[in-house]
Amino acid sequence: MSATTVNIARGLEDVIFTESSLCYIDGDQGKLYYSGYKIQDLAEYSTFEEVSYLLLHGKLPTRAELKAFSAALVAERALPRSLIRNIKAYPKTAHPMSALRTAISELGMLDPHEDEISPEGLYQKSLSLIAKFPTVVAAIKRSREGLSILAPRKGLSHAANFLYMSTGKVPSKEETKLMDVALILQAEHGFNASTFTAIAAYSTQADLYSSIVAAISALKGPRHGGANEAVMKMLAEIGSPERVSSWLAELQAKKGRVMGMGHRVYKAYDPRAGVLNKYAAEVAAKHGHSKEYAILKEVERQAGAIYNPKGIYPNVDFYSGVVYSDLGYGLEFFTPIFAVARISGWTAHILEYTKVDNRLLRPDSLYTGKLDVPYVPITKR
Ligand SMILES: CC(=O)SCCNC(=O)CCNC(=O)[C@H](O)C(C)(C)COP(=O)(O)OP(=O)(O)OC[C@H]1O[C@@H](n2cnc3c(N)ncnc32)[C@H](O)[C@@H]1OP(=O)(O)O
Ligand SMILES: O=C([O-])CC(=O)C(=O)O
């Protein structure tokens, strides 16, 4: 093989390595479907529980199925005591994504059946992880803020309970809807970097927890899930809508990237950003976070003129921070909230991959090094 005969896909773009019926993205048209349903319909009419059921089962639940599924999630929400103790002892300076990665790793260690990979065992562990992610993230948040960790509260939906455990207040209907929408929009997105990482780990027959820890690690990066936090830092750097133009000129001069814009698959407006933009505008108008929103709109307008012709538009991370800030989360919790949503997609993909054909993932590279180099003893180098 030589460089002239091999087509190297550096970012694995356009490489199709499996089949999946979980998610369809039309990147040119800016369309997204979960198991055939339009993302806009799910965001408007559904709940995170319903969407998680859809992803795990491939169909929307009946009323009775949803009731049983939601009850199963509620039953799995609480954390082992020793994990709560340990979360309290995590350094307050640690990034919440590092704390989440550590906590999920601990959950695996505490599960006496960590390695079980029967379909029933995997499904049960998936439910348990979907249920526990909000409890873990809320516990990390409260512990960092020097507040007592709250136990999950029965009678609250997944989104409402997450908000309750995070803030100590039972949220309003509007706040719950806002969190539900954010979680629904981020629940699944095909073979993005974190899902692919989860599958790569799982393809070795590593246990579910290890695969999810791998996924959390990949989500942390600012080119992927970490972009929502990076957007907020970018807004702080810009400072005001009037500064957007000079900031953009500097960014272009150093060939930098506008965080929250651009996507490997979408070469049009990310439909999730469209939905979040609408909610962010409402939140900004109602609750006075209008400065951040105003800067974002200006970045979208001015950066759009430069980058839209190249297929670079706002992605899901562009407007989500305005929504999370409004719900009471600091910017370091934006990516953990993404993980609270994406755990459904990660586990659904692992369950699906097991059924399709759990084949070891192992790509190749074009070797560009030397061969048959004579070994020189260390004393002679
Ligand atoms: C949930 C998610 O993961 S959504 C994505 C979140 N990430 C971000 O928002 C970070 C900012 N965006 C990016 O870095 C990129 O758009 C990515 C990594 C997400 C996808 O990019 P890719 O499809 O891999 O494109 P690639 O990195 O090859 O860039 C192609 C060209 O577009 C430019 N480009 C891509 N994104 C941006 C951006 N946000 N701002 C400015 N230029 C950009 C690159 O500089 C490059 O230009 P060049 O050809 O002149 O060198
Ligand atoms: O699909 C991707 O590459 C990134 C993304 O938008 C997501 O994971 O939600």
ipTM of the complex: 0.98
**From the CA of 248, which ligand is nearest?**
1
Report which of 316, 292, 312 is spatially closest to residue 302, judged by C-alpha positions. 312
Measured in Å, how far apart are the chain's first and last C-alpha atoms?
32
pLDDT of residue 243: 98
What does each C-alpha distance from 153 to 112, 159, 207 come to in angstroms? Answer: 26, 12, 30
Give the active site residues.
263, 317
For the Cβ of 342 lying below 6 angstroms from any atom of ligand 2, the answer is no
How far, in Å, CA of 148 to CA of 143, rounded?
A: 7
For the Cβ of 95 lying below 6 angstroms from any atom of ligand 2, the answer is no
Question: Tens digits of per-residue pLDDT, 166-204?
Answer: 999 999 999 999 999 999 999 999 999 999 999 999 999
How far, in Å, CA of 189 to CA of 353, rounded?
A: 15
How far, in Å, CA of 109 to CA of 115, rounded?
A: 10
Order of strands, sheet of 37-38, starting from the edge strand that comes earlier in the sequence:
23-26, 31-34, 37-38
pLDDT of residue 4: 63
Domains of the chain: 23-223+341-357 (1.10.580.10), 227-326 (1.10.230.10)
pLDDT of residue 117: 86
Report which of 153, 109, 155, 104 is spatially closest to residue 130, judged by C-alpha positions. 104
For the Cβ of 316 lying below 6 angstroms from any atom of ligand 2, the answer is yes
What amino acid is encoded at 83 in this protein? L
Question: Tens digits of per-residue pLDDT, 144-176?
Answer: 999 999 999 999 999 999 999 999 999 999 999
pLDDT of residue 286: 87
Residue nearest to atom 9 of ligand 2 (CA): 189
Residue nearest to atom 3 of ligand 2 (CA): 192
pLDDT of residue 6: 84
Residue nearest to atom 2 of ligand 2 (CA): 192
Distance of CA 232 from the midpoint of ligand 1 (Å): 17
For the Cβ of 267 lying below 6 angstroms from any atom of ligand 1, the answer is no
pLDDT of residue 1: 53
Task: For the chain, state the CA radius of gyration.
Answer: 22
pLDDT of residue 119: 92
Tokens 């909230």 found at: 337
pTM above 0.90, yes or no: yes
Cβ–Cβ under 8 Å, residues 92 and 144: yes
For the Cβ of 278 lying below 6 angstroms from any atom of ligand 2, the answer is no
CB atoms within 10 A of CB 278: 14
Residue nearest to atom 44 of ligand 1 (CA): 257
Report which of 312, 285, 286, 281 is spatially closest to residue 296, judged by C-alpha positions. 281
Strand partners, 279: none
How far, in Å, CA of 364 to CA of 34, rounded?
A: 31
Q: Which stretches in the chain have pLDDT values below 70?
A: 1-4, 289
Helix axes 244-253, 227-238, angle to 10 degrees: 120
pLDDT of residue 357: 80
How far, in Å, CA of 54 to CA of 34, rounded?
A: 8
Distance of CA 189 from the midpoint of ligand 2 (Å): 5
Burial class (CB in 10 A: 0-12, 13-18, 19+), 9: exposed
